[in-house]
Amino acid sequence: MKSIRILSLALGLSIASVQVSCSKDESKETSGEQNQYVDNLYAVIKTVERDLSQGYLLRNASDRERQSFSDILYDIKISTQRLKKNPNDAQALSSLYLASQSYNTLSILEVDGSQLGELKARLFETIDVLARIQGKTLDNIERILFEKQFTYDLLPFQAITDVGA
């Protein structure tokens, strides 16, 4: 688990080093919108932490699964706190994105997944908005959308064969 955190941190730092900075005028205009999404995400995180500590979440999960979830939730919380202080913090956005990818790898029961739906929605919404405002393209966001659309219907994709032309 420790190696995953170190790897995530190293990857976050390497992603953050390749960043596009925003002008100060642009950051003043978008700061309110950024703060709204970050504040909403932070409120959901606090609710999930409370529910987890009171035993309403992950009741049937193993101790290891519960600990993995807590670690990832902590990473999300720290990144969100950094974004509350500085909405244009590229490293915090990268860390939040990496934490969201780790969150996606968790195996969460359907019962708990329904209770955590708002966290997942707010998390991806916040990442998407902040990445758009900061002018960043985060890996796999477009790919995830494509994969979901591709699995629903194959109609737009047709095989074209050249037969003896």
Domain span including residue 108: 29-150
Domain count, the chain: 1
| pLDDT given for residue 2 in this prediction | 64
Domain-embedded: residue 164? no
Angle at 38 between CA 35 and CA 41, to 5 degrees: 150
pLDDT number for residue 132: 84
- Please enumerate in sequence order all residues whose Cβ is within 8 A of that of 131, keeping only pairs 6 or more positions apart, or say none: 93, 97, 137, 138, 141
| Nearest in space to 35 (alpha carbons), one of 78, 81, 73, 76 | 81
Q: Is residue 7 part of a domain?
A: no
- The tens place of each residue's pLDDT in the chain, 165 residues long, gives 666 666 665 556 556 555 544 444 444 444 666 688 899 999 999 999 999 999 888 888 888 999 999 999 999 999 999 999 988 888 899 899 999 999 988 888 887 888 888 999 999 989 988 888 888 877 655 444 444 444 445 555 555 555 655
- Distance between CA 126 and CA 37 in Å, rounded? 5
15 found inside a domain: no
Does residue 19 fall inside a structural domain? no
Q: Domain for residue 6, yes or no?
A: no
Whether 8 maps to a domain, the answer reads: no
Write down the pLDDT at residue 145: 45
Asked if the structure places residue 56 within a domain, the reply is yes
Q: What is the pLDDT of residue 73?
A: 95
